[in-house]
Structure 1
Amino acid sequence: MLTAIRSLLFTLVFYVGSLFIVLSALLSSWFMPSSVLPIAAVWSRYHRWCAHWLLGQRVRVEGDLPIGPYLYIIKHESMFETIDILCLFKSPAVGAKRELFDIPIWGRVAQVYGLIPIERTAGASALRTLRAAAKDRIAQGRPICLFPEGTRVPHGEAPPLRAGFAGLYSLLGLPVVPIAIDSGRVSPRGKFLKSAGVITYKVGQIVPVGLDRREAERQVHAAINALNPPSALDQ
């Protein structure tokens, strides 16, 4: 019962507050585009506040998170990390499904913010577009964050990385910082009920530039699944 009440309160408070924040960002996107980035940071902090005080969720980071010209590759289990990573990084440029940019209001804000659109089925041309967008954000001094599984994955599952990761790793020539997260334990995808608990980010060892595709994928895959049961890596 307590979990249901907390989940309901979170849904009401977070989404009502988000409506005002997103509308503020929309207005700013027309009249003061540079303010969209700090508004997005406020939204992320508001989300973490709601998760902490309404759901009883706390965040813990294991390991040192290096800041610099890296490609950050993050496990994706829940909506939680898609918003919360703005609390980990300053104005990160995050890869997002291309169709999300077609959502009214939100799509306009996402475009001005500088999210990186990812076209899943366009092959080499999509990779070139992704590379160009990533290089533009890097030139702005913004970290690049990608969810290489392409969609939210239930906690305990470890699907292979999508092909775009290896291509971008080779084209950008950046070392990779893999990050595991276990948000799916307490905020499972597609579920209304969200539980109290600790959500852990685990920073893996940096994957250097110049590895062959299979070895880079192997190291990243193992690192982003480090918080899963050991059997998950055998899937």
Structure 2
Amino acid sequence: MNKTPLGIGNALRSIAFCLHFYVWSVVMGLTIPLFIWLGGREGAIWICTRWSNMHRWGVVHILGIKIVIEGEVPSGPVFVALKHESMFEAIDLPTLLPFPAVFAKVELLRLPMWGKAAGLYGLVPVERDQGAKALRAMVSAARNLSQENRPLAIFPEGTRVRHGTQPAPQAGFAGLYKMIGLPVVPVAVNSGPLLHGFWKRRGTVTYRFGEVIPAGLPREEIEARVKVAINALND
């Protein structure tokens, strides 16, 4: 997908979307203590899901971006391994998937208001370079959440990458795959050319859900198959 010129229309839509998203994020964030007080974990789940829905609404109705889903959206205990080109797909996960548990950097759980809600929703904290103890805690949390019949969403490349680049999956992905023992559904997404950075562009973002990859494969094979599948929309 080639990046089109920005243009005045895209610039105005980008500003409007920024105002929409950040104003509502602050307003909703201020209500989090009330929702947790009234509903506990269910209140946190509700507000996190509505936040993601609000973000998707803005992407579609303010930015004018069409979202296309190809393949079958999985449910239940399975790894969902996604390409990561912009913040769009990270925020969109509770809208895209049925109540996913999400692997995310531990710093997100330290954010005022939203960190508490994210922890109750089911973020699995990823602490890079923190050794075996942190890894055991991450595996334990992921197993507990998968026992709630939830998909485990993970970005195997570890961070956002530019559209068209194909880094190898991080070593931790294969380790989690081996220790938790779930099949993997790879997901390609081409959000980068339209949604990476402040200035957004109109167009179509596609999620392509690949075929299920079984549990128990050797490290080299799972990494190779996931890498090919999540890069299927690199054009």
| Counterpart selection for 1:154 from 154, 162, 174 | 162
1:121 paired to 2:129: yes
* Separation of aligned partners in 1, 2:170 and 2:28: 33
| Counterpart selection for 1:197 from 195, 199, 203 | 203
Deviations 1:17-68, CA, capped at 9 Å, x for gaps = 1212222223322442221112211111111111111101111011122322
RMSD: 1.3
Change (3 A) 1:140 1:164: same
* Separation of aligned partners in 2, 1:42 and 1:3: 25
What is residue 5 of structure 1 aligned with on the other side? 12
Work out the percentage of aligned pairs sharing the same amino acid.
47
What is residue 78 of structure 1 aligned with on the other side? 86
* Separation of aligned partners in 1, 2:158 and 2:131: 14
What is residue 226 of structure 2 aligned with on the other side? 220
Q: Secondary structure at the match of 1:186?
A: helix
| Counterpart selection for 2:187 from 165, 179, 184 | 179
TM-score (norm 1): 0.92
* Separation of aligned partners in 2, 1:102 and 1:16: 20
Structure 1 residue 125: deviation in Å? 2.4
1:164 paired to 2:163: no
> Do the aligned partners of 2:32 and 2:114 also contact (CA within 8 Å) in 1?
no
Q: Secondary structure at the match of 1:32?
A: helix
> Do the aligned partners of 1:72 and 1:176 also contact (CA within 8 Å) in 2?
yes
Deviations 1:150-177, CA, capped at 9 Å, x for gaps = 1111111111111111111001111000
TM-score (norm 2): 0.92
| Counterpart selection for 1:15 from 22, 39, 43 | 22
> Do the aligned partners of 1:29 and 1:112 also contact (CA within 8 Å) in 2?
no
Q: Which runs of 5+ in 1 are unaligned?
A: 230-235
Query: Size of the alignment, in residue pairs?
Result: 227
**Misfit runs of 4+, over 4 Å:** none
